[in-house]
Amino acid sequence: MKFGGTFWLAVSSALLVALTILAYFGGAFPLAFFTMLSGQACLLIAVYRVLREPYTGSKTFDDFYEDHPSP
């Protein structure tokens, strides 16, 4: 099963929250270090997945800006 970029972004956010909780309550250093490394790896995977997603937009440069229509 393939996971998209938003899934990996949610996982990295959850790991960041877990790291914050570990630091606040004085958790073991190896566990906090592993959580930090895992979060960074998930963030890199999320960035890669988002940038590699096949996305095509319907807007072109002729559409200009939506909030300032061309005359």
pLDDT tens for each residue of 1-32 = 778 888 889 999 999 999 999 999 998 999 99
As for how many domains the chain has, the answer is 1
Q: Report if residue 14 sits inside a domain.
A: yes
Domain range holding 16? 1-29+39-52
Q: Which helix (H) or strand (E) holds 32?
A: helix 29-52
Q: Which amino acid is at 65?
A: Y
User: What region, left, alpha or beta, does residue 5 occupy, with left being phi > 0 and alpha being psi -120 to 50 degrees?
Assistant: alpha
Q: Report if residue 48 sits inside a domain.
A: yes
| Residue 63 pLDDT exceeds 70 | no
Q: Report if residue 66 sits inside a domain.
A: no
Q: Report if residue 15 sits inside a domain.
A: yes
pTM over 0.85, yes/no: no
Q: Report if residue 57 sits inside a domain.
A: no
Q: Report if residue 44 sits inside a domain.
A: yes
Q: Which amino acid is at 35?
A: T
